[in-house]
Amino acid sequence: MGLVVMSERELNRIEVLSQVEDGRLDVAAAANLLCVTRRQVFRLLRRFREDGPSAIRHKARGKPPNKRYRDSLKVYALDLVRENYAILVRRWRLSNSKPVIL
């Protein structure tokens, strides 16, 4: 198994769910700590028990968003900015501040 990257929030969830598993924390307190409902805690616990800590990781991590813009649109927009605002970019360079778009 490779390296699994997790956010601080996901690591906190694993810690709280581990405490629930060990009996050191009840489900209501876990729900309060995680700011979710008791039902969601039971869902998280089921996944945690079945697949371990890596199951808590967000499933969409590393995947492109569903509503992303096409690359061609991004290139078109940058070309427009470069054409219409080239004078501003030159002024930013002369004033020693960083230009926003190159």
Locate the domains of the chain by residue range. Answer: 8-56, 69-102
Measured between alpha carbons, how far is 33 from 55 in angstroms, rounded to an integer?
Answer: 19
Structure tokens at 50: 């079945």
Confidence at residue 59, expressed as pLDDT on a 0 to 100 scale: 75
pTM: 0.59
Confidence at residue 100, expressed as pLDDT on a 0 to 100 scale: 54
Mean pLDDT in runs of 10 for the chain (102 residues)?
76 93 94 95 93 82 84 88 74 60 52
Confidence at residue 97, expressed as pLDDT on a 0 to 100 scale: 60
Confidence at residue 28, expressed as pLDDT on a 0 to 100 scale: 95
Measured between alpha carbons, how far is 42 from 88 in angstroms, rounded to an integer?
Answer: 56
DSSP 5-41: ---HHHHHHHHHHHHHHHTSS-HHHHHHHHTS-HHHH
Confidence at residue 39, expressed as pLDDT on a 0 to 100 scale: 96
Confidence at residue 94, expressed as pLDDT on a 0 to 100 scale: 63
DSSP 44-85: HHHHHHHH-GGGGS-TTTTSPPTTPPPHHHHHHHHHHHHHHT
